Amino acid sequence: MHITLIEPPRYYSPTSPISTVVIPPLGPAYIAAALEEAGHQVLVIDALAQGMATYTPFRSIYLRGLPIDRICDQIPKDTKMIGVSCMFSAQWLVVRELIREAKRRFPGVPVVLGGEHGTGMPELSMEQSPVDVVVTGEGEETAVELAARIQEGRPFDDI
């Protein structure tokens, strides 16, 4: 089954050293490895790495990395599950917009939120976005089980 995992763009401020640091997306990398080991084909879209020289206005600040429309343009038409990482609650506004656009373009494809934000605020994440599933805690085993259920057409509300 084809699965797409997305590391979103980051807020950028030239006066904030933390916003200029680039860190490999280890969470999506671990999830991708577990899914590939289970036999799935995984595409990881690292919006920051793919658009390090791209700065897009977002509300009153800038995002560094691919803009949301270009991220969604890369999602293969045959993807059966979309996973989005949100490691920091400060990223939630842009991640929420990314989830909305992914659901608009792929209405029948489950969108899964992972990362610290979803773990800390799963109910709020579900209330504020059209995300289908929030994975709390470490997600490798859950992602594999979720993908198997989606592939088999079985419900996943009891995982």
Give pLDDT tens digits for 79-119: 999 999 998 888 899 999 999 999 999 999 999 999 999 99
pLDDT at residue 15, rounded to an integer: 75
- Tokens 């088999």 belong to residue: 152
Q: Is the pLDDT of residue 20 over 70?
A: no
Q: Which residues neighbour 71 within 8 Å (Cβ) at sequence distance 6 or greater?
A: 6, 8, 9, 45, 47, 98
pTM tops 0.85, yes or no:
yes
Read off the pLDDT band of 6 (50, 70, 90): very high
CB 44: neighbour CB atoms within 10 A?
A: 17
Q: How far is CA 119 from CA 87, 133, 134, 136, 145, in A?
A: 9, 11, 8, 4, 18
pLDDT at residue 18, rounded to an integer: 64
Give pLDDT tens digits for 130-148: 999 999 998 999 999 999 9
Distance CA 7, CA 4 (A): 10
